[in-house]
């Protein structure tokens, strides 16, 4: 079945907000086995929204909109949905009560415009919103299915996961399963070259490459009568991929580097600490984004200045004078210093030139040293990056976590 996505909101057209909703929907719909033919963006103008919805309904089996379901005058989606399908709006009393209760339970004043969210196109099913007041809309016509979701990402995701996805799964008599392989240390173009014939010959399973955030993902999706058949099809392709590029795979599934590092540390009852210069605390931040990370992450030092490197991490003035803050020797002393100071099993350190300034011919922007002190030994890795400041900081944290994961494995 073919699906089109419509993102509604002038703020999207102006670039004030990045359209993460469309990406989320496309990713999840693809995993469910639906084909995404178009993704449209339209501003807060009723005539243009109606025109866009009608155009999508003329081409697609399912149309999903996000945004424009709030209480204000520029929230026009419910009116546009009604008009584009030739229906009237009515006030749903159950939704009205739900909205009133929502405000009352939180001690907030209900303004009359909030009750606009209780209106539904006739024949539509409300998709209840447990994160806010704007319900979604599910409308089945003679030829199409039209689904409207709120624009607030957490509200949209909540309704999609609990209401929309289970509904869509029942529209197909086939079972669909996906497997995600995560690669690090290889670029998208190089990986594609290694898998070129598999990609060119794909039918079922399908293969989709996606690069971003310093890694490459390969999603293998199979469709069959049973889950067992899906897994068998996926396994056959997975073996071929691993034969050609297995050494670059760090994860099979949705888990990212910080979560995998945390699992290994917890499993082995080990602890770690981080000494960060060029990343400014990013490694510690990413690790502590994982619930329960206090079990293994003891703390860190943002050693941005040479004084902190010297006074708190044991980097000697001689090393700083002779080798510099960005050097193999400094990274080594930093990781050993944080390991000893915090009495942990693993000490990790990063020092580098994030840019855009500060580089020289001998030490260009993007040069990074990563130190890793373990119960067995201490190693220092040299990395040369070529992005802007934000990219270089992120990639430094990626490499640091990757090397730590390899050591833990």
CATH number at 246 reads 3.30.70.2860
pLDDT at 174: 80
pLDDT at 30: 83
Specify whether 205 is located in the same domain as 349. no
Nearest to 138 by CA among 114, 157, 165: 165
The DSSP H or E segment spanning 208 is strand 206-212
- What stretches of 225-285 adopt beta strand conformation (E)? 249-252, 272-276
Beta bridge partners of 41: 7
Q: DSSP H helical segments within 106-226, as ranges?
A: 153-159, 165-169, 188-194, 196-200
Specify whether 56 is located in the same domain as 114. yes
Specify whether 236 is located in the same domain as 293. no
Of 169, 202, 235, the residue that ends a domain is 169
pTM: 0.77
pLDDT tens, position by position, 131-190: 999 999 999 999 999 999 999 999 999 999 999 999 998 888 788 888 999 999 999 999
Specify whether 240 is located in the same domain as 261. no
Specify whether 80 is located in the same domain as 196. no
- What stretches of 266-345 adopt beta strand conformation (E)? 272-276, 297-302
Q: How many domains does the chain have?
A: 3
> How would DSSP label each residue in 55-106?
HHHTT-SEEEEES--SSSTT--HHHHHHHHTT--EEE-HHHHHHHHHHHHHT
Query: How does pLDDT run along the chain (409 residues), one tens digit per residue?
Result: 899 999 999 999 999 999 999 999 998 998 788 889 999 999 999 999 999 999 999 999 999 999 999 999 999 999 999 999 999 999 999 999 999 999 999 999 999 999 999 999 999 999 999 999 999 999 999 999 999 999 999 999 999 999 999 999 888 878 888 899 999 999 999 999 999 999 999 989 999 898 888 899 999 999 898 989 999 999 999 999 999 999 999 999 889 999 999 999 999 999 999 999 999 999 999 999 999 999 999 999 999 999 999 999 999 999 999 999 999 999 999 999 999 999 999 999 999 999 999 999 999 999 999 999 999 999 999 999 999 999 999 999 999 999 999 999 9
CATH number at 28 reads 3.40.980.10
Specify whether 214 is located in the same domain as 342. no
Specify whether 270 is located in the same domain as 165. no
Of 118, 144, 169, the residue that ends a domain is 169
Specify whether 329 is located in the same domain as 292. yes
Q: Which two tokens stand for residue 291?
A: 């619930």
pLDDT at 374: 98
pLDDT at 92: 95
pLDDT at 246: 95
What spatial distance separates the first Cα and last Cα of the chain, rounded to whole Å?
42
Residue 19: give the domain boundaries: 2-169
Specify whether 305 is located in the same domain as 286. yes
CATH number at 290 reads 3.90.950.20
Specify whether 18 is located in the same domain as 164. yes
Specify whether 371 is located in the same domain as 276. yes
Specify whether 229 is located in the same domain as 323. no
Of 169, 188, 212, the residue that ends a domain is 169
Burial of residue 31 (number of CB atoms within 10 Å: 0-12, 13-18, 19+):
middle
């Amino acid at each position: 079945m073919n699906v089109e996505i419509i993102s509604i909101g002038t703020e999207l057209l102006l670039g004030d907000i990045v359209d993460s909703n469309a990406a989320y929907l496309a990713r999840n719909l693809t995993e469910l086995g639906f084909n995404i033919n178009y993704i449209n963006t339209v501003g807060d103008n009723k005539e243009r929204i109606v025109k866009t919805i009608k155009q999508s309904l003329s081409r697609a089996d399912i149309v999903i909109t996000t945004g424009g379901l709030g209480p204000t005058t520029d929230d026009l989606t419910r009116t546009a949905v009604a008009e584009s399908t030739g229906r009237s709006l009515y006030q749903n009393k159950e939704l009205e009560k739900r909205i009133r209760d929502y405000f009352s339970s939180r001690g907030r004043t209900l303004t009359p415009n909030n009750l606009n969210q209780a209106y539904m196109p006739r024949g539509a099913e409300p998709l209840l919103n447990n994160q806010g007041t704007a319900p979604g809309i599910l409308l089945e016509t003679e030829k199409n299915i039209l689904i409207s979701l709120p624009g607030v990402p957490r509200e949209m995701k909540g309704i999609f996961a609990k209401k929309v996805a289970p509904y869509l799964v029942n529209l197909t008599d086939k079972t669909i399963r996906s497997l995600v392989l995560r690669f690090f240390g290889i670029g998208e173009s190089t990986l594609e070259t290694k898998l070129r014939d598999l990609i060119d010959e794909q039918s079922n399973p399908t293969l989709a490459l996606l690069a971003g955030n310093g890694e490459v993902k390969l999603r293998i999706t199979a469709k069959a009568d049973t889950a067992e058949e899906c897994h068998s099809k996926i396994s056959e392709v997975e073996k071929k991929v691993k034969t050609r590029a297995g050494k670059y795979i760090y994860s099979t599934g949705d888990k990212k580097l910080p979560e995998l590092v945390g699992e290994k540390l917890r499993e082995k009852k080990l602890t770690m600490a981080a000494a960060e210069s060029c990343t400014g605390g990013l490694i510690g931040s990413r690790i502590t984004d994982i619930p329960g990370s206090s079990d293994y992450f003891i703390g860190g030092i943002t050693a941005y200045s040479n004084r902190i490197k010297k006074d708190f991490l044991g980097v000697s003035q001689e090393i700083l004078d002779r080798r510099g803050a960005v050097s193999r020797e400094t990274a080594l002393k930093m990781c050993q210093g944080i390991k000893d100071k915090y009495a942990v099993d693993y000490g990790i350190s990063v020092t580098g030139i994030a840019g855009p300034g500060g580089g020289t011919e001998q030490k260009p922007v993007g040069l990074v040293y990563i130190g890793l002190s373990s119960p067995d030994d201490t190693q220092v890795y040299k990395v040369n990056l070529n992005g802007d400041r934000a990219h270089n900081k992120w990639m430094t944290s990626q490499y640091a976590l990757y090397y730590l994961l390899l050591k833990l494995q």
